[in-house]
A and B are shown apart, each in its own frame.
Chain A
Amino acid sequence: MKTFEEKWTAWLDGQLSDRELAQFEASLPDKAAAEAEKTEAKKLGAFLKRELGARALTNEEFFSHQLRERIARERAGESRKSGGRRIEVSTWWTIRRLLWTGTASLVVFLVLAIFVMRDKNPAEQSQYLTQILNARVDPVVSPNATISMFETKEDRVTVLWTEGLQSLPADYAAK
């Protein structure tokens, strides 16, 4: 079932069958006004077709047009390529760079960790064990004395070991 607008358009275009035409024209309230409108629509259609229709190109214009289009396409392609290169150059986080950055970060981390651990261990050890900074004996009293120092980590003691100190009689063990 066609709507009134569809029938109106078909009537303007002259595409209604005889029966449909008779029915449609009978349904029009003012047939004279409708005819005038139809005439105006036809005039407008003819005008638009004349003014907006594609103008046939001459051979010279056609080739010139094709050349211009081709140059434009080539330029667009070049600019896309160079644009792409620019993007590749300016993009920082490519997969390869991510990998390199990750590896470099790991290396830096390991180097720092080794330095920190190396710096930390002696401090921990020095906190753990007593350290003898220096030692001396009177060379006049004990001319043959020697001094050595060592730490025993399992017993957590530090020892200053002297040899050749002047020997004393047992009386010196008195309290």
Chain B
Amino acid sequence: MARSLLLSAAFALVLGTATELRGAEMVWSGLVIAENVAQPHPIPPELTGIERPLKRLFGYNQFQVIGQSRKALQTGQEDWLATSKFFGLHVDARGESQAGYVLNLKLYKEKELLLETDAKLSKRSPLLIKGPQVGGGQLLLVLVVQ
């Protein structure tokens, strides 16, 4: 009886630890300006994992992060904001499923809502959003589970 109780407790502990480790995942969200320039800066370290699709899909050679946020998700119910001087990306996590995190994203230009979307962010698949044109470049929104 005591042995089975001890085993159950150990199992619960391991399970709890595993769940906790699994829950503490980091989501990086960034506001990125993509441009074509003669002397491009090196790609920021946050974007190195997706450099190839960024260049291939959007056709720019330089990517600069103008605003970012890194959030550790514990419950999958958190919300956070990545801001630049004029833009704000509000991310509202609405739960965690086996497929990933359910997120509501809102892109603001100052106080004006430009774009809203709901997505299931997979832990192994970044989300790229093409925003408005800014000067000769493009505003991109990037979300990655790290």
Contact = CB atoms under 8 A, between A and B. Distances in A.
A128 B124 contact: yes
A34 interface: no
A128 B122 contact: yes
B87 A152 contact: no
B115 interface: yes
A162 B52 CA distance: 20
**Which of B52, B85, B129 has the most A CB atoms < 10 Å from its CB?**
B129
A160 B85 contact: no
Contacts of A174: 66, 84-86
A170 B126 contact: no
Contacts of B131: 162, 165
B67 A138 contact: no
A172 B119 contact: no
Given A127-B98, A130-B122, A162-B115, A168 B109 contact: yes
Interface in B107-128: 109, 112-122, 124-128
Given A138-B114, A175-B84, A155 B52 contact: yes
Interface of A: 123, 126-138, 141-142, 151-152, 155-162, 165-175
